[in-house]
Amino acid sequence: MRDAETQGLVLYSRNYKEKDKLVKIFTASFGKRMFFIKNFGKSPFASSLQAFTDGKLTATINDSGFSFIEDVSEVTVYKNINADIFINAYASYIISLADAAISDNQYDPALYAFLKRSLELLDQKFDMEIITNIFELQILGRFGISINFAECAFCHTTTGPFDYSYKFNACLCKKHFDEDLRRTHLDPNVIFLCNLFQEISLDELKKISIKPEMKQKLRQFIDGLYDEYVGLHLKSKKFLDSMQPGSWADIMK
Ligand SMILES: [Zn+2]
């Protein structure tokens, strides 16, 4: 047990007993922790502890059991994430990915910063699908997955077009397509964009414009990678999938 100050981002909260709440917060200094808030409705921190809220916490951090908050200050609320059902759905999905990617209590300030930056960009109305794809590809390493989209697995050429092979868990250049007769037959731009998204820093991200058709191809390919290598079943992802064009969500636009 120790008293500490840290930045923290609220991932979610849930009711606990009659009036209390458990709030899961990704802290910069102590990883993800579960905080117990007694009588949440009357807590002075209730509004500072909504999902997608970032703030400076003064807290008692326990390595087992719940942690406790003494104060929250310098609170940042992501207004557009809260107000827009679409942005909210993307933000919820990347938050649940970050939650699934590392264990609780694991120190990971880089992931905290990456998540926070991604939410900031979503809140600033950057392209939601692109931010999400970048997040999905860059967080793969936390799940123990490393894929090289930059070169052919056989001859290491960095000149495309490339296709993806699940047999070799790698990219193939044109000369080596025959190595895997069941290669994916992807649009080569998908691999090009995956490589770009894997390398890019969110701080350097300029406006990228991608056609809906290409976005759809990226979505399918990244879903395939997650099915094959990660195997998560997140409610937030199901909800996001239910909002795709042609669904009920069209009437909300
Ligand atoms: Zn090759």
Domain boundaries, the chain: 1-77, 79-253
Distance 134 CA to ligand 1 centre (A): 26
Q: How far apart are CA 215 and CA 140, in angstroms?
A: 19
Angle (CA) 201-233-122 rounded to 5° is 35
The residues that bridge with 33 in the sheet, in sequence order, are 25
Distance 73 CA to ligand 1 centre (A): 54
Distance 47 CA to ligand 1 centre (A): 55
Q: How far apart are CA 204 and CA 126, in angstroms?
A: 13
What is the second-level CATH architecture of the domain 1-77? Beta Barrel (2.40)
Distance 140 CA to ligand 1 centre (A): 24
Q: What is the pTM of this model?
A: 0.94
Distance 114 CA to ligand 1 centre (A): 33
Tens of pLDDT along 53-101? 999 999 999 999 999 999 999 999 999 999 999 999 999 999 999 999 9
E strands, the chain, are: 2-16, 20-27, 31-37, 53-61, 68-77, 162-165, 170-173
Q: How confident is the model at residue 208 (pLDDT cuts 50, 70, 90)?
A: confident
Distance 199 CA to ligand 1 centre (A): 21
Tens of pLDDT along 19-64? 999 999 999 999 999 999 999 989 998 888 988 999 999 999 999 9
Tens of pLDDT along 153-198? 999 999 989 999 999 999 999 999 999 999 999 999 999 999 999 9
Q: Do domains 1-77 and 79-253 have the same CATH topology?
A: no
Q: How far apart are CA 128 and CA 87, in angstroms?
A: 7
Number of alpha helices (DSSP H) and beta strands (DSSP E) in the chain: 7, 7
Residue 184 carries which DSSP code? -
* CATH of the structural domain 79-253, one choice from 3.40.30.10, 3.40.50.300, 3.10.20.740, 1.20.1440.120: 1.20.1440.120
